[in-house]
Amino acid sequence: MKAVYIQQQGGVEELVVGELPEPEVGKGEVLVRIHAAALNHLDLYARAGENGVKVPSFPHVLGEDMAGEVASVGSGVPDIQVGQRVLVDYVIKCDSCEYCIIGYDELCRRPKNMGVDLWGGYAQYVKAPYQNIHSVPDWMSYEEAASIPLVFHTAWHCLVTRAGLRPGETVLINAAGSGVGTAGIQVARAMNARVLVTAGSDFKIDKSKELGAEAGFNYNANPAFRSFVRDLTDGDGVDVIFDSVGASLWEESYASLRRGGRFVTCGVTSGHWVDLHLGQLFAKGLNIMGSGTRSRREFKDFMNLVNLGSLRGVVYRVFPLDEAREAHRLMESRDVFGKIVLRIS
């Protein structure tokens, strides 16, 4: 099969276009003919070996997010037909540890990530357990479908499960043009929350408003956004902040939380380390929480809204698979709104 793979970790020049053997499905597995694969920051980390991300062997195929059609099914696979249009949940749970057995699969002791621990989506074919296969509507393009899994799973988990977002609350979404930002805006609107955003350009703020954001602040033009937030919340601040940026926006974000506010983080693209004012934390009753890992139940929950057309993948640009290096360079530039997708013909 045609694939883009790495023979060692490093820069974009390590992405090689070539031929690899097609995966063979075993019991309980499904072979998917991939038509589109979306990029995530995790792809860059796995390619470069950054943030401690290792891959088990070479050649290695990157890519957590993928969509296509079912090419074949192994024995013991219920309810999945050849030709079915699907997307793939990239986290494979062990189904045998004590957490999986009692229904807390988000705490699985032995999860494997497709694209990191196993071959992923930068190829014509991939195999996955049937539990990771989800139908997509006929009207949805494969490019859009591929742009959905990781960012909506993350946004749903952070906003609905972790932060417990409620109708009528106000949420601030940082880096609104990122994949998780565009998903977060839509999840928050689906929960009937008010959405304010920060982003690095006026273009991204305008696009965020098209997705349902009420107002936005350009932190590259002016880094101090706490007064913007307070002006729009009667001086109170927001109920929830959904952040993937980390260090560079921390101080303004922390000052933008109302009493009892919740800050939930799923990324540290600008740095890991921040100063925390413990006095304000206890006096204002704030909650600071990390995303952690996500459950199959949450995947099913947001996919219900995807199939209703309430949550939509945001595709910024599509590259042919052969141009994976260009796609990675664009991802590194951060000059995007939504997802970069590879089309696999």
The residue among 130 and 242 lying less far from Zn ion, judged by its C-beta, is 130
The residue among 292 and 309 lying less far from Zn ion, judged by its C-beta, is 292
Write down the least CB distance from residue 23 to Zn ion, Å: 22
Write down the least CB distance from residue 291 to Zn ion, Å: 18
Write down the least CB distance from residue 89 to Zn ion, Å: 14
- Close Cβ partners of 171 (under 8 Å, ≥ 6 residues apart): 159, 163, 165, 184, 188, 193, 194, 195, 196, 238, 239, 240, 241, 242
Where would I find the beta strands (DSSP E) of the chain?
A: 2-6, 16-19, 29-38, 60-61, 65-73, 85-88, 91-92, 112-113, 125-129, 133-135, 170-173, 194-199, 215-218, 238-243, 257-265, 287-290, 315-320, 339-343
Helices (H) and strands (E) in the chain — how many of each? 11, 18
Write down the least CB distance from residue 104 to Zn ion, Å: 9
Rounded CA gap, 314 and 77, in Å?
31
DSSP assignment of 168-236 equals T-EEEESSTTSHHHHHHHHHHHHTT-EEEEEESSHHHHHHHHHTT-SEEEETTT-S--HHHHHHTTTTS
Residue 174 has φ and ψ, to the nearest 5°, of -85, 150
The residue among 97 and 305 lying less far from Zn ion, judged by its C-beta, is 97
The residue among 90 and 337 lying less far from Zn ion, judged by its C-beta, is 90
Evaluate whether 133 touches 30 at the Cβ level (below 8 Å): yes
The residue among 20 and 97 lying less far from Zn ion, judged by its C-beta, is 97
Window 174 to 193, contacts with Zn ion (CB under 5 A): none
Tokens describing residue 46: 């796995």
- Close Cβ partners of 103 (under 8 Å, ≥ 6 residues apart): none
Write down the least CB distance from residue 300 to Zn ion, Å: 17
Window 76 to 135, contacts with Zn ion (CB under 5 A): 94, 97, 100, 108
Write down the least CB distance from residue 204 to Zn ion, Å: 38
What number of chain residues touch Zn ion (CB under 5 A)?
4
Write down the least CB distance from residue 109 to Zn ion, Å: 5
The residue among 253 and 295 lying less far from Zn ion, judged by its C-beta, is 295
The residue among 130 and 263 lying less far from Zn ion, judged by its C-beta, is 130
The residue among 4 and 91 lying less far from Zn ion, judged by its C-beta, is 91
Write down the least CB distance from residue 97 to Zn ion, Å: 3
The residue among 109 and 334 lying less far from Zn ion, judged by its C-beta, is 109
Tokens describing residue 39: 């990029």
Write down the least CB distance from residue 107 to Zn ion, Å: 8
Evaluate whether 177 touches 337 at the Cβ level (below 8 Å): yes
What count of other Cβ atoms lies within 10 Å of the Cβ of residue 326?
Answer: 15
Rounded CA gap, 197 and 191, in Å?
16
Contact residues: Zn ion, CB under 5 A: 94, 97, 100, 108
